[in-house]
Amino acid sequence: MRFDIFCRVIDNFGDIGVCWRLARHLTARSPQHHITLWVDDIGRFQSIEPAVKHQAVQSLTPSITLVHWTPDVSMREPGDVVIEAFSCDPPPAFVRAMAARNSLWINLEYLSAESWVEGCHGLPSLQPDSLRKFFYFPGFTTRTGGLLREDGLLQKRNRWLQQPAKRWELLRHLGVPGSAIESLQTTGRLAFLFGYPSAPVHALINALAESQTHWVLLIPEGLYPEVQSPADTALQVVRIPFVTQDDFDTILWSSDLNFVRGEDSVIRALWAGKPLVWQIYEQEERAHIIKLRAWLASSPYPKAAHTLMLDWNTGQYGPAQAGLSHLIDGPAWEEWKITAMEWANQLANQPALAANLEAFCAENWQTR
Ligand code: TRH
């Protein structure tokens, strides 16, 4: 099949993060698929993929062509399937050409664990010109579109984790000082922090600094510039560069505790099988808290982790610090670790998003 994926970067890295991942997963499934990836913000894409150049059109892999989606971009013949990420509205001239070509139109929606998603996933969206458009919802159950996970990901993670030398090599490559690596080689633990500016970060710093364990905290460059290693404590705060999506995974696998955000990194942290704290993307009227509660209700994490994530997302410094201290130093730590690994394994037994989407498109393609 020939696919078009349209991506409009609203802010941050999640829009392009999801689309780039989906393009790679689809083309990895079949060498016969070809994807044209339309992206309006090439600079943002470059942050997570250095191979991207400031060009109108470029070939990113033998099966993925990147088109810089500008207002005056030259139109191309639409593919068999056109995926519009997060209701980003392909150009009207392109939609007219889709009608002429009878392309299948998929609106890839935002991720949510709310129960209504099962009822809406796969529903048609009536269009003029007899265009066939469908809502496609990612999700955590087999009655949704599933989660982005490439074939063999957990096996790849396990192989990587079985070779500790890779972890030390990665940390050295990221510029982590030798003293921090030595601490991790004995009893120290590693945390990774990727969140929004509103996160109660000092709750984390205080909890790690007061912990019985020596912690090293990695923070991507540009985030929380005010945060330093606190004096007279064992906590070491280390700034690391922005990395590619593949290296991002290995950082999550390497860490003992991951703080993630948005839509894409939370799923990668989930596949890491390590305790995670999710800062969900904020929405109007606290709709994000409803989404967060639904996700927590579907998770097997200990109750204290549920409370911590609610406190982390609502900026409750004191309770977030107390919750973290309880979780990282008490018996709850073991329970959190076990449930995190169990949930990753359980969700990985379900078909992944690219496979589901491919099957959905093939089925609806035949019935056109
Ligand atoms: O950047 P985000 O906050 O993106 C958000 C969310 O997707 C949100 O739901 C959406 O509405 C909004 O964008 C527009 O967080 P997210 O989704 O985790 O995306 C981050 C991406 O960046 C993810 O693909 C991982 C990647 N990344 C790297 O590849 N390297 C890095 O070093 C880092 C820190 C991130």
Domain(s) of CATH 3.40.50: residues in the chain = 2-149+352-366, 153-347
Residue 128 confidence (pLDDT): 83
- Produce one character per residue of 170-198: b if its CB has 16 or more CB atoms within 10 Å, e if not: bbeebebeeebbebbeeebbbbbbbbeee
- Residue 227 CA to ligand 1 center (angstroms) comes to 21
User: Residue ranges of the alpha helices (H) in 299-348?
Assistant: 303-313, 317-329, 332-348
- Residue 223 CA to ligand 1 center (angstroms) comes to 13
Atom of ligand 1 minimally distant from the CA of 242: 32
pLDDT tens series, the chain, 368 aa = 999 999 999 999 999 999 999 999 999 999 899 999 999 999 999 999 999 999 999 999 999 999 999 999 999 999 999 999 999 999 999 999 999 999 999 999 999 999 999 999 999 998 888 899 999 999 999 999 999 999 999 999 999 999 999 999 999 999 999 999 999 999 999 999 999 999 999 999 999 999 999 999 999 999 999 999 999 999 999 999 999 999 999 999 999 999 999 999 999 999 999 999 999 999 999 999 999 999 999 999 999 999 999 999 999 999 999 999 999 998 999 999 999 999 999 999 999 999 999 999 999 986 66
114/105 Cα distance (integer angstroms): 24
Domain 2-149+352-366 falls under CATH 3.40.640: no
Residue 112 confidence (pLDDT): 97
* Residues designated catalytic: 15, 263
How does DSSP classify residue 212?
Answer: S
- Return the number of other C-beta atoms located less than 10 Å from residue 97's C-beta: 17
Question: What is the model's pTM?
Answer: 0.97
Give Cα separations from 72 to 68, 192, 327, 329 (angstroms): 10, 41, 53, 57
- Strand stretches in the chain, DSSP E: 2-7, 34-39, 57-61, 64-68, 81-85, 104-108, 124-126, 132-136, 189-193, 215-220, 236-240, 257-261, 276-279
Residue 367 confidence (pLDDT): 66
Domain 153-347 falls under CATH 3.40.50: yes
Residue among 10, 12, 16, 278 whose CB has most ligand 1 atoms within 8 A, to mutate: 12
Residue 130 confidence (pLDDT): 84
Q: Write out residues with Cβ below 6 Å of ligand 1.
A: 10-15, 17, 48, 194, 220, 242-245, 248, 261-265, 281
Neighbour-count burial of 41, counting CB atoms closer than 10 A to its CB (0-12 exposed, 13-18 middle, 19+ buried): middle
